[in-house]
A = this chain, B = another copy of it.
């Protein structure tokens, strides 16, 4: 015990990142390494008639030029409807046609310019509605209806729910394209050794599934693939699938018999990395006069783009919020994912929940207004209590939703301000305040039959510990949190811990970084491995000192008397006394932690996560009714995080998530016109930067999850989820105008305000 839990612990990787020591993918130079570049389609739907690579191949310094005919063409990606290189036709702007490995990036680019591609354009589709029309062009032959995926969910009886309702409202919400904007662009290095073993220096968030998934695509057995992850400059879900550039890099390395590195340009990152999935969501909700929710009836239509990556599965997360954010006695949910010739989307922090919560929490305000309740009282009336199981089967063993609502509203002065801002404001700049809450998984998500994470813990003779964890740090700070758990358990300083988390050959299996699971799952795994080590150490100390192990603890680098804190033996000395003896031993433990969650059943029901995160965010803002500019003044966030592990890290997670959510709501928009990305640069794609960042007041509700490590839940995604709803609710408070479409650019805001005035 070192009293580390809940403290402000700087990220372990911060010094190296600050000093420039960190070596990113871009900094890795392998002997003989070549540079790979990909020729992408400039058409969105076209038949490939001919590809001529002769000139490119003849360019000095070029070692390999490949097209689809040089590769096996095994399908890849979540939907297995894509191939690394396209030989027959292209379906969206980013499609990969050919690739080059050359001695420099410049030569590779020159070679790309020498490749001639002849296309025959096909009629294209740019909206789900058009894709569903009778006689629409078919994008994938296997899906003549252009629908790769649809399903229905229900609980209760929505028709009965409608009957019970005193008020029913319905809206359609339209959500747009945004993209991750990781500071570190995509890339990979493929490196075969002479025995055919492949090392991939990969930025993947899922090293172990990656091995399995890429194996058939490249024809290398998974056991011969080693995934080493350089420091990852942001993931946010963008690196959860296999994308064509990864096998392409392998094919280039094989063809050139040299290591090959592909690193995207920033423009390529905008065009050819995944997006958040656009969706049109029609939500009908009902309520009784007393403010009790009766039903939700939802239809979603998803723009899948040209191929099916993880974006297509966001309906599952949308479903959870629809079914279970507040008590919903009756629920129906129909979702349709539709091919278009737009860019295709992947997973993205929040994973559909930003879209769902935008709709649900907009409606909560409308319903409250309809029954004459204030938004806080209405939400509290419908909020679940700890111990409830939702009708989709989620067990809220702990549930801080009520405290989040109360805390965020009290700290922000929500009710008072809301009342004040409703009265006619003078001048063109109007203030408003809005509230919204969220539900998200907080204890992993059992998407696969295992949601586990392995740990190997090894102590050296001096009380220094190596923690080999399967989990990946993509910048979220999991390395630090894992080190805290182990340090706390072993009573050693965090500087005595090294977390090894980037080599599939060494680290034990983990399902990957997604679903806000790392603190919970990898944390539990590391903590349990540390507990085993602690048990061994205390038993050894007890034997040595002829005491009971129950009365001992580890603190400040010593075995101590648990009651008095009196030091009994220095930890390193104890380890050495265990080690340097006739029957010597060292301290190594292993753990594979599997959370007590279950996969959803055929009706999509079941306790898919071992814990759930809740949160409420109140946004105070100004709307300039003359320019349409929305200025966020303050965000008051209250999150049920189970327990704070790293106060500094969790504040960072909330601040990062809030800023990301504000960007989603107000400034960020990947402009796609006729399938073409129109703003592939940071000049034209507007991220929220420091000057636009409001004051953020974070409070953490500690519900102490019984399964969570030291009581913690995962909240990596949560802070980004509900802010867009809070923003539109605040704009409504300020102006009386309600928005159902994002982003809230000055142009859109001004146009709507004008329309309302007219």
Contacts and interface: CB of A to CB of B under 8 A. Distances in A.
| Of A15, A29, A462, most B-chain CB atoms within 10 Å | A462
Given A498-B505, A580-B449, A588-B454, A464 B224 contact: yes
Interface in A182-216: 193-195, 208, 211-212
Given A222-B462, A456-B458, A509-B461, A21 B584 contact: no
Interface string A20-36: 01010001010100000
Nearest to A209: B461
B590 A589 contact: yes
A406 to B, nearest CB: 37
Interface string A70-108: 000000000000000000000000000000000000000
B454 A586 contact: yes
B21 A193 contact: yes
A537 to B, nearest CB: 15
A496 interface: yes
B462 A584 contact: no
Interface in A468-508: 468, 495-496, 498, 500, 504-506, 508
A387 to B, nearest CB: 23
B580 A585 contact: no
A583 interface: yes
Given A456-B588, A588-B508, A579 B450 contact: yes
Nearest to A30: B23
A726 B581 CA distance: 40
Contacts of A564: none
Contacts of A498: 226, 505
A450 B584 contact: yes
A193 B461 contact: no
A706 interface: no
Contact of A584 (B449, B458, B505, B580): B449
Contacts of A21: 193-194
A16 interface: yes
A120 B534 CA distance: 59
Number of copies: 2
B592 A15 contact: no
Given A454-B588, A506-B500, A449 B27 contact: no
Contacts of A18: 194
Interface string A444-463: 00001110101010101111
A21 B226 CA distance: 17
B509 A462 contact: no
A21 B199 CA distance: 13
A497 to B, nearest CB: 9
Nearest to A598: B582
Contact of A592 (B27, B496, B585): B585
Contacts of A16: 193-195
A561 interface: no
B598 A506 contact: no
A688 B198 CA distance: 39
A594 interface: yes
A393 to B, nearest CB: 15
A223 interface: yes
A583 B458 CA distance: 25
Contacts of A15: 193-195
A612 to B, nearest CB: 20
A461 B222 contact: yes
Nearest to A458: B508
Given A193-B15, A194-B15, A509-B586, A580 B448 contact: yes
Contacts of A496: 223
A689 interface: no
Contact of A222 (B23, B464, B504): B464
Contacts of A222: 460-462, 464
Contacts of A579: 450, 509
Contact of A223 (B31, B221, B463): B463
A19 interface: yes
A154 B213 CA distance: 68
A698 interface: no
A679 interface: no
B588 A594 contact: no
A449 B584 CA distance: 8
Nearest to A599: B582
A495 B598 CA distance: 36
B592 A588 contact: yes
A23 B199 CA distance: 15
A284 to B, nearest CB: 37
A8 B179 CA distance: 56
A229 to B, nearest CB: 15
A223 B500 contact: no
B584 A452 contact: yes
A466 interface: yes
Interface in A593-640: 594, 598
A215 B458 CA distance: 20
Nearest to A590: B588
Interface string A661-675: 000000000000000
Nearest to A466: B505
Nearest to A195: B15
A193 B29 CA distance: 20
A466 B506 contact: yes
B584 A592 contact: yes
A461 B224 contact: no
A19 B32 CA distance: 13
Nearest to A495: B195
Nearest to A452: B584
Contacts of A449: 580-582, 584
Contacts of A509: 460-461, 579, 586
A450 B581 contact: yes
A508 B594 CA distance: 26
Interface in A223-240: 223-224, 226
Contacts of A29: 29
A592 B586 contact: yes
A729 B212 CA distance: 63
Given A16-B193, A456-B588, A584-B592, 7 more contacts: A195-B495, A222-B460, A224-B464, A449-B580, A449-B582, A450-B579, A509-B586
18 contacts: A15-B193, A16-B195, A23-B31, A222-B464, A223-B460, A449-B580, A456-B456, A456-B458, A456-B590, A466-B506, A468-B506, A500-B505, A508-B586, A509-B579, A509-B586, A584-B594, A585-B592, A588-B590
